[in-house]
Amino acid sequence: MKEFTMEKMKEACGVFGIINNDDYDVARFTYYGLYSLQHRGQESAGIAVKNGATILCHKDMGLAHEVFNKVILNQLQGTIAIGHVRYSTTGASEVQNAQPMVLRYRNGNMSLAHNGNLVNASKLRDELEAQGAIFQSTNDTEVIANLISRYRVLNDNIVDTLKNVMDDIRGSYAITMITPKRLVGMRDPLGIRPLCLGKIKNSYAFASESCALDAIGAEFIRDINPGEIVLIDHEGNIESHNTVEKGCRKLCIFEHVYFARPDSIIDGVCSHKARVEAGRILAREYPVKADLVAGTPDGGVDAALGFSRESGIPYGHALIKNRYVGRTFIQPEQTQRDSGVSIKFNPIRSEIEGKRVVLIDDSIVRGTTTRQIVQMLKEDGAKEVHMRISSPPYKYPCFFGIDTSTRKQLVASKNSIDDIRNLIGADSLGYLSLEGLLESVKGDKCGYCTACFDGDYPMEVPFETLKNSCG
Amino acid sequence: MKEFTMEKMKEACGVFGIINNDDYDVARFTYYGLYSLQHRGQESAGIAVKNGATILCHKDMGLAHEVFNKVILNQLQGTIAIGHVRYSTTGASEVQNAQPMVLRYRNGNMSLAHNGNLVNASKLRDELEAQGAIFQSTNDTEVIANLISRYRVLNDNIVDTLKNVMDDIRGSYAITMITPKRLVGMRDPLGIRPLCLGKIKNSYAFASESCALDAIGAEFIRDINPGEIVLIDHEGNIESHNTVEKGCRKLCIFEHVYFARPDSIIDGVCSHKARVEAGRILAREYPVKADLVAGTPDGGVDAALGFSRESGIPYGHALIKNRYVGRTFIQPEQTQRDSGVSIKFNPIRSEIEGKRVVLIDDSIVRGTTTRQIVQMLKEDGAKEVHMRISSPPYKYPCFFGIDTSTRKQLVASKNSIDDIRNLIGADSLGYLSLEGLLESVKGDKCGYCTACFDGDYPMEVPFETLKNSCG
Amino acid sequence: MKEFTMEKMKEACGVFGIINNDDYDVARFTYYGLYSLQHRGQESAGIAVKNGATILCHKDMGLAHEVFNKVILNQLQGTIAIGHVRYSTTGASEVQNAQPMVLRYRNGNMSLAHNGNLVNASKLRDELEAQGAIFQSTNDTEVIANLISRYRVLNDNIVDTLKNVMDDIRGSYAITMITPKRLVGMRDPLGIRPLCLGKIKNSYAFASESCALDAIGAEFIRDINPGEIVLIDHEGNIESHNTVEKGCRKLCIFEHVYFARPDSIIDGVCSHKARVEAGRILAREYPVKADLVAGTPDGGVDAALGFSRESGIPYGHALIKNRYVGRTFIQPEQTQRDSGVSIKFNPIRSEIEGKRVVLIDDSIVRGTTTRQIVQMLKEDGAKEVHMRISSPPYKYPCFFGIDTSTRKQLVASKNSIDDIRNLIGADSLGYLSLEGLLESVKGDKCGYCTACFDGDYPMEVPFETLKNSCG
Amino acid sequence: MKEFTMEKMKEACGVFGIINNDDYDVARFTYYGLYSLQHRGQESAGIAVKNGATILCHKDMGLAHEVFNKVILNQLQGTIAIGHVRYSTTGASEVQNAQPMVLRYRNGNMSLAHNGNLVNASKLRDELEAQGAIFQSTNDTEVIANLISRYRVLNDNIVDTLKNVMDDIRGSYAITMITPKRLVGMRDPLGIRPLCLGKIKNSYAFASESCALDAIGAEFIRDINPGEIVLIDHEGNIESHNTVEKGCRKLCIFEHVYFARPDSIIDGVCSHKARVEAGRILAREYPVKADLVAGTPDGGVDAALGFSRESGIPYGHALIKNRYVGRTFIQPEQTQRDSGVSIKFNPIRSEIEGKRVVLIDDSIVRGTTTRQIVQMLKEDGAKEVHMRISSPPYKYPCFFGIDTSTRKQLVASKNSIDDIRNLIGADSLGYLSLEGLLESVKGDKCGYCTACFDGDYPMEVPFETLKNSCG
């Protein structure tokens, strides 16, 4: 039995936005931006472009390079663009849920791209429906768009409108938006989802991660602050509004544990560096005598480096990961898995044979994959397999943009560490402590949401939402 | 300027074959086999299945998971299957050149899948045309098929037929074939391209690399010998014919340098292990004082491990490689590249800043990518960049299945090491010696074609072929 | 010069709906219904199906047989279905404008399909936007859906809601709708667009034309009355509400002149019969000495029959129409047209050579096609060509669902009959009088909108709308 | 029960060819030519273009407008083009059987498009295989190509080669071909399949039917003679070789009965005129008292005109045919047909109610459709239905390019006229006599193959071929 189901957490989305004050092709830049944010969502991709008073949009299921071709990109001519890659956390996996969303409201045309999850979306939707609003999709973005439209009628400017909307919505959100005149970026009051600002010549870009700024050759300027609204126009004027007092920051700590690309710097912390550091601390917290330290590709390799450096145990490659799988890949059926079909990972026998192996992964969600990998390593000759996880036990469901489904599926929510060790068949198992993890991601500006580890949610989660996830 | 063109060598193909003596779904197994051989060719994929007296075939441009879906695989019912993934080395990139080739000849239906390149294809084609043969594609496989058909008329069995064909064709070939009654695997007299045999229960499979046997849960039995023809029937009878005396083996050494998946074992040597060893020897041949050893993903990472282990310089990750690119990805145009659009690689600044970095790659073909990477590392703060290549200078074109185009494009064919160092902007540059490389891949059964490094071609290459490649 | 541009009027849409009280496959029946209504719109097709509390929907650009396949139809399982074929009259030709529209509102899920055009859509949209509504498409259906949702909040039942909506919207509409419990059909107060009701066993269906009821084997029951709302539930209860006093009917007379399939019976009148009768009256109004009467396929053939029967001049086939053209057909460019490329029509020389031909068409919009046909007939030997049109000169733009663009393009709006005769190169030209046309379509229940002929619009058209069309 | 299966004869193919001596776009012209020959084959379409020494080709399953788009046509640049539309008579319905076939042979590149059927293909294939030839498809064209290639080796010119090939192959064929220097058209020695030559400025075109010449604005020059080979070069030289003595002509009479477009003139006879004449004679042979004469669309309408003119019974439209069906249309299943789903035809009740109807069709193959139509007419009120067929009973299978499957399926092969009348439920039934049919198609140059009516095959048909068709 060597088959693997995909049991990693599914990130919500990645967003991008650019306003051209030079002679750039905004759609093309957004395409490259999305390509570098592709790890944040592989289900659908979309780009909306402001072309005069019109907004052109193309979006479909698939990776950026599947959704877009030259003909389509060339049609997306304009001066402001936003883009979105998505893995659904809320809303069904259907094309009508793809973003950006484009809509007409009282003041003209608008387009939104949203990464995050509202915990009170259901309530807001009910209230809006009670006022006669209709919904054509199941995603939160349509809720936000309706609120913007309603508040825009009551306000004479977009900033007050967005402030009103932020008063209403609760949850995580990093949003890029095209308004009739400007590119807007905004981040939720706790800064749960990341969003940063870059500059290239006289043009400006927002992106979920700094790696997307690097991709287009833009210079990183700064992170958007929690609760901040930034509006940029074609004269290059940047207007910033902070809706919250400085203080409490609650960046999703899983961005550094797993989601973010290692080369991204979020709120001043480089993910790669944080992961290496987590590995170091893990080596101190759970030392072991062994011959080889390896990471499961790709999640564990950075922490494995740190573990190796701290422990002095040689770093190596224990597993090959096949990278050619796509959305339409046909998974083996049970009969094939029983025959030993092994699709995603294969051990390198010569590297592990007869050795005591420390295998590092960033997290364990359901445990199935980990068990299979441990078994494969042993079948291929590893003498011992010591599992080390570079984050604490993942016990509590996330309501802010990570799809871990219900609590029932989280192996750590109902099993002791020793039970888990038994289940995965490892000779030993060690999880990084929460203190250790917080130490690894320490930065000047940082505070973190650690709810998935300690259940300490940064805001009240409605009972209905909780109920569905704890079943 | 951070853009990268794809300048790696293009591998010819991967082949697979399976004969079912149990209750396996041969098309599905072939699909998984091709998926694990996908690194050998991403241009087209195909599967042919023997269904009674008929051969069903589906092939198209694209990756295996793009070409096949459940409906198609379910239609490919049968008892023997062969499969092929291709990157064209000869023949245009068109669907009519996709393999396997299916054809009717005197004795019924036949199907062939071929990895390799015939150096006398042009001459054979002319001779066949002079006898009235017609050709509907430009690939060598059609030449082989015509020869088989012609010799089959003159012989009363397939083995003599294939021997006759092997007498005529010159070059590299690893072939899987469906005949009216059997699955056949054959390998050229020098064993230039790899082919191995595996077993699962009572069924047998051929594959270009052992990783494809692992993928379907089959047990590796042995490599096909140079010049060997192996025929397997539904009773499980294995018939083997050796057409050459034991002795001279000329496995393409680049299989271990670059092509093969690290977890594959070819002619007794594990590619990962060979690469680590090459890195070790390289560290001895070209030592340097530095703070970090890193490999360019993915080609240089194994040798970087070896270099680090030998030198004691810490191993690390200097570059992120974006893995989501597909066939239809829209490359940046010059204007975007001038703006700094960087698509494929991005350095991890925190890892390299202020450090003396040893960067390992498996080879340099044209040098453009290497130059760009060195520059990126320096721009992101590397104090020194010392380039180390885990193979000798690539000077001579390959005529046996690697597409390096003409000699003119090989930077090492007309520049001194120091010129190349200058060109790529590295602080130092060291290539592994041929002796070092041969040491790293040493095995009991091994002999290697090293023509790309020393011009010592394992057989005479026709003048016409040479001419085209040295222009 | 034999090339033809498509200059026929573009019909708005066709709608269908069915509620299953037997064991029918509602999606399949809707597919066949749409197929028989395909002449009403070839741009997009869609089907929505009520499946429990959910509504499943599939729609895309293309003909019904292009948009749907077995896999898709099989997924559309449910108990109520509505369908739509569309040629855009308002809203751009984009997939987000395809119907049916599916939406969630306060009372659950709803789906709408609409044929017609609202003359006050722009004003309603502004009013709704002023209340904070957002719009994601440019079609009128979204306006209607917003109004339904708003009024549903204010009413405790759907009937009052729809009555309120009908009070607000002005224009033409034939609508099929899925509500949380029922299938609904409704027709505008003047009955401008047709809608009829049929029955098959215990199940009921609405369709734009009776030919769609014939297609599924349903029995025609009756036309929906102008201003009537019909609601049908799964017990087979039919609830009818008339919002207008009996009296004024304003069925679009062009339904009988051109749009409707000849075998359809609308408000008691068979289109084929009406067209034959129009031809008879035309023969009396504009008699001519000739050898052959022929119709331009397909619009003129029925009236040609009547003209022949009345005049005694033999009926024949003068032109072949190529029927294989599709949406993606590549029209000849000017250079090819100059070379004589003739794609759509070709005369039958043997039938017309040396003859005086009466050619009947249903209407002339811009005149270009007519001119080309007349010229072709003459080039192929017709001695005289007498053009007879089975409707009056088309002078005024339609605001109720026919896309004739602006008045400027209507040849009859600015030219005398004799000028038009000259322009098209006919030896004589006669248009049926309005009296004659009204005589041909006379029925018990009928009254007609004849605005395109006499400018007598059945309701006030907002200045803004008028302005755009008369430019 | 109103459903209809498609039971019409399936025509083999249509061919086209053009050589440009002006500045025409040969691919575009071929596209228009194929579009006007689309009625001869709707399964696949293809165009091959000579571009210097290369031949570019695009072909796929589908109608011409589905297979080609602007991008593809623009890539097909060159000086000579041939095209093909196909409905398979031999060879499976697969893309590898699509034509034109492109191949390399001793003298360069060649391309062929073929309409017809060889009766000795199987024997020729065996002989070629015995010489070692391989076949990659199942169509006759590959047999012809192999013969050309073999004979070209033995001859020093193409004309002698083609003569040799014509000596070997037996059956029907109209072929267009691109040779290294010329466009070639050739027709089998009996002229069973049509082929004609046209001219436009200094360029020349071959086409299966003259309507394709009309489509591109070319002037009809003449029919290719039976057994004639015509070669045209870029200087406008036309070389003609006749391989048979003048005399025996055996044009497939079904071209005029059913296949050819009515506006086509084949061997001097206009199909429309012949059909009208057939209707006249039919009216004399089988007179009846009735109120209306109608044809089944489209096959019976021309003969219905003739019947009406001769009998004085008014001509009318009894049935509507839905024209929007495509290859992927989902046919109703039995349950839907039992519910009365009626897809293709619908009667016009007002035209037939209470009337005695003479219904004309061109032929009856299996009788199922005819029975369904007769029943529909009666259900919709026709008092009597008198069936008249404008050709004799279709009794014998065709081996020359018409797919009527086996003799068993031909209703007339095993039933008396009266039995058939009973089976289809008509009040009377009359078939045109063979003498009458021959009278209707009489021309100066004409002789006909009438084997489907009288079993008098124009050449010996191999026993094996006969056996398969008479089972």
Instruction: Render pLDDT for C44-55 as a digit per residue (tens, 0 to 9).
Output: 999 999 999 999
Residues of C in contact with D76 (CB under 8 A): none
Percent share of chain D, pLDDT over 90: 78
Q: In terms of pLDDT, which residue wins out, A464 or C98?
A: C98
Mean pLDDT, range C102-127, rounded to an integer: 94
Under the banding of pLDDT at 50, 70 and 90, the label for residue A48 is very high
**Does D215 sit within 8 Å of C42, measured CB to CB?**
no
**Does B145 sit within 8 Å of D132, measured CB to CB?**
no
- Show the DSSP H helices in C183-300 as ranges: 210-215, 254, 271-285
* Tokens encoding B137: 């594609």
Task: List Cβ neighbours of B158 (8 Å cut-off, separation of 6 or more).
Answer: B107, B152, B179, B182, B184, B231
Residues of C in contact with A129 (CB under 8 A): 104-106, 149, 153
Residue D461's pLDDT is 84
Q: How many CB atoms lie within 10 A of CB C356?
A: 17
Percent share of chain A, pLDDT over 70: 93
C-alpha C4/C-alpha C341 separation (Å) is 10
Chains near C (3 or more Cβ pairs under 8 Å): A, D
Residue D73's pLDDT is 94
Say which of A13, A196, A211, A452 is annotated catalytic.
A13
A:C CB pairs within 8 Å: 72
Report the residue from A103, A131, A138 with minimal CB separation from C136.
A103
**Does C211 sit within 8 Å of D343, measured CB to CB?**
no
pLDDT tens-place string over residues C264-312? 999 999 999 999 999 999 999 999 999 999 999 989 999 999 999 999 9
Query: Does C1 have pLDDT greater than 50?
Result: no
Token look-up 């319905």 returns D93
pLDDT tens-place string over residues D345-372? 999 999 999 999 999 999 998 888 899 9
C-alpha C462/C-alpha C120 separation (Å) is 7
The secondary element (H helix, E strand) that includes residue D368 is helix D368-379
Report the residue from A262, A326, A339 with minimal CB separation from B65.
A326
Three-state DSSP at C159 gives helix
**Does A36 sit within 8 Å of B211, measured CB to CB?**
no
Residue C7's pLDDT is 43
Under the banding of pLDDT at 50, 70 and 90, the label for residue B329 is confident
Mean pLDDT, range B224-247, rounded to an integer: 93
Q: Average per-residue pLDDT in chain C? A: 91
Under the banding of pLDDT at 50, 70 and 90, the label for residue A332 is confident
Backbone phi, psi, residue C225, to 5°:
-75, 155
Q: In terms of pLDDT, which residue wins out, C97 or D465?
A: C97
Query: Does B414 have pLDDT greater than 70?
Result: yes
Q: Is the pTM of this model over 0.80?
A: yes
Mean pLDDT, range D74-89, rounded to an integer: 89
C-alpha A302/C-alpha A300 separation (Å) is 6
- The CA–CA distances, whole Å, from D241 to A354, D152, D209 equal 82, 17, 21
Top residue of B38, B330, B343 to mutate, by most chain A CBs within 10 Å, is: B330
Q: Which residue type sits at A195?
A: L
**Nearest chain A residue (CA) to B353:** A273
Strand order in the sheet with C384-389: C292-295, C356-361, C384-389, C428-431
Top residue of C94, C131, C134 to mutate, by most chain A CBs within 10 Å, is: C134
Query: Does B335 have pLDDT greater than 90?
Result: no
Residues of A in contact with B25 (CB under 8 A): 336
Q: Which residue type sits at B437?
A: L
Mean pLDDT, range C396-416, rounded to an integer: 81
Q: Which residue type sits at C157?
A: N
Query: Does D114 have pLDDT greater than 80?
Result: yes
C-alpha D365/C-alpha D6 separation (Å) is 10
Under the banding of pLDDT at 50, 70 and 90, the label for residue B325 is confident
Under the banding of pLDDT at 50, 70 and 90, the label for residue D6 is very low
C-alpha C298/C-alpha D297 separation (Å) is 12
pLDDT tens-place string over residues A189-235? 999 999 999 999 999 999 999 999 999 999 999 999 999 999 999 99
Q: Is the dihedral of CA D111, D117, D119, D121 positive or negative?
A: positive
Query: Does B332 have pLDDT greater than 90?
Result: no
Residue B466's pLDDT is 66
The region that residue C217 occupies, defined by phi over 0 for left and psi between -120 and 50 for alpha, beta otherwise, is left
The region that residue A223 occupies, defined by phi over 0 for left and psi between -120 and 50 for alpha, beta otherwise, is beta
Residue C4's pLDDT is 36
Percent share of chain C, pLDDT over 90: 78
Under the banding of pLDDT at 50, 70 and 90, the label for residue B293 is very high
Mean pLDDT lowest among B64-68, B80-84, C426-430: B64-68
What ipTM does the predicted assembly reach?
Answer: 0.91
Q: How many CB atoms lie within 10 A of CB B6?
A: 9
Among the ranges A82-96, B123-137, C82-96, which has the highest mean pLDDT value? B123-137
Query: Does A1 have pLDDT greater than 70?
Result: no
C-alpha D192/C-alpha B97 separation (Å) is 36
Mean pLDDT lowest among A269-273, A387-391, D96-100, D166-170: D96-100
C-alpha D146/C-alpha B132 separation (Å) is 7
pLDDT tens-place string over residues A161-180? 999 999 999 999 999 999 99
Backbone phi, psi, residue B262, to 5°:
-55, -30
Residue C49's pLDDT is 97
Strand order in the sheet with B356-361: B292-295, B356-361, B384-389, B428-431
Length of chain C counted residue by residue: 471
Domains in chain D, start-ordered, CATH in brackets?
A: 10-248 (3.60.20.10), 270-445 (3.40.50.2020)
Under the banding of pLDDT at 50, 70 and 90, the label for residue A308 is very high
pLDDT tens-place string over residues B130-182? 999 999 988 899 999 999 999 999 999 999 999 999 999 999 999 999 999 99
Q: If you compute the radius of gyration of chain D from its CA atoms, what whole number of angstroms results? A: 23
C-alpha A11/C-alpha A209 separation (Å) is 13
Under the banding of pLDDT at 50, 70 and 90, the label for residue B10 is low
Residue C11's pLDDT is 52
Under the banding of pLDDT at 50, 70 and 90, the label for residue B3 is very low
**Nearest chain D residue (CA) to C345:** D215
Under the banding of pLDDT at 50, 70 and 90, the label for residue A406 is low
Token look-up 């000869």 returns B90
Query: Does C23 have pLDDT greater than 60?
Result: yes
Q: Which residues pair with B49 in a beta bridge?
A: B56, B81
B369 and B5 in contact (C-beta within 8 Å)? yes
Q: In terms of pLDDT, which residue wins out, B335 or B436?
A: B436
Mean pLDDT lowest among A149-158, A336-345, C58-67: A336-345
C253 and C267 in contact (C-beta within 8 Å)? no
Query: Does A7 have pLDDT greater than 60?
Result: no
Top residue of A348, A380, A441, A442 to mutate, by most chain B CBs within 10 Å, is: A348
Q: Is A13 a catalytic residue?
A: yes
Residue D469's pLDDT is 53
Mean pLDDT lowest among A328-332, B431-435, C151-155: A328-332
Mean pLDDT lowest among A139-143, B250-254, C335-339: C335-339
Mean pLDDT, range A377-406, rounded to an integer: 89
State the Cα angle at D135 between D133 and D137, rounded to 5°.
Answer: 165
Query: Does B249 have pLDDT greater than 70?
Result: yes
Query: Does D149 have pLDDT greater than 90?
Result: yes
Residues of B in contact with D104 (CB under 8 A): 129, 134-136, 138
The separation between CA C69 and the C-alpha centre of its own chain, rounded to angstroms, equals 25
Strand order in the sheet with C13-19: C54-61, C44-51, C80-86, C13-19, C203-207, C196-200, C219-223
Q: Average per-residue pLDDT in chain A? A: 91
Query: Does B23 have pLDDT greater than 70?
Result: yes
Q: Which residue type sits at B110?
A: M
Q: How many CB atoms lie within 10 A of CB A289?
A: 10
**Nearest chain C residue (CA) to D35:** C324
Query: Does B2 have pLDDT greater than 70?
Result: no
Q: How many CB atoms lie within 10 A of CB D247?
A: 7
Residues of C in contact with A152 (CB under 8 A): 132
Burial of B111 (0-12, 13-18, 19+ CB in 10 A): buried
Q: What is the DSSP string of B396-439?
A: S--SSSEE---GGG-GGGTS-HHHHHHHHT-SEEEE--HHHHHH
C-alpha B362/C-alpha B305 separation (Å) is 12
Say which of D13, D57, D211, D452 is annotated catalytic.
D13
C-alpha B454/C-alpha B413 separation (Å) is 11
Percent share of chain A, pLDDT over 90: 78
Angstroms from C158 CA to nearest CA on chain A: 14
Residue D425's pLDDT is 96
Residue C16's pLDDT is 98
Report the residue from B104, B135, B149 with minimal CB separation from D132.
B149
Under the banding of pLDDT at 50, 70 and 90, the label for residue D130 is very high
The secondary element (H helix, E strand) that includes residue D174 is strand D171-178
Residues of B in contact with A262 (CB under 8 A): 317, 320, 348
D411 and D367 in contact (C-beta within 8 Å)? yes
D269 and D328 in contact (C-beta within 8 Å)? no
Mean pLDDT, range D125-144, rounded to an integer: 93
pLDDT tens-place string over residues A411-422? 998 899 999 999
pLDDT tens-place string over residues A196-208? 999 999 999 999 9
Query: Does A297 have pLDDT greater than 80?
Result: yes
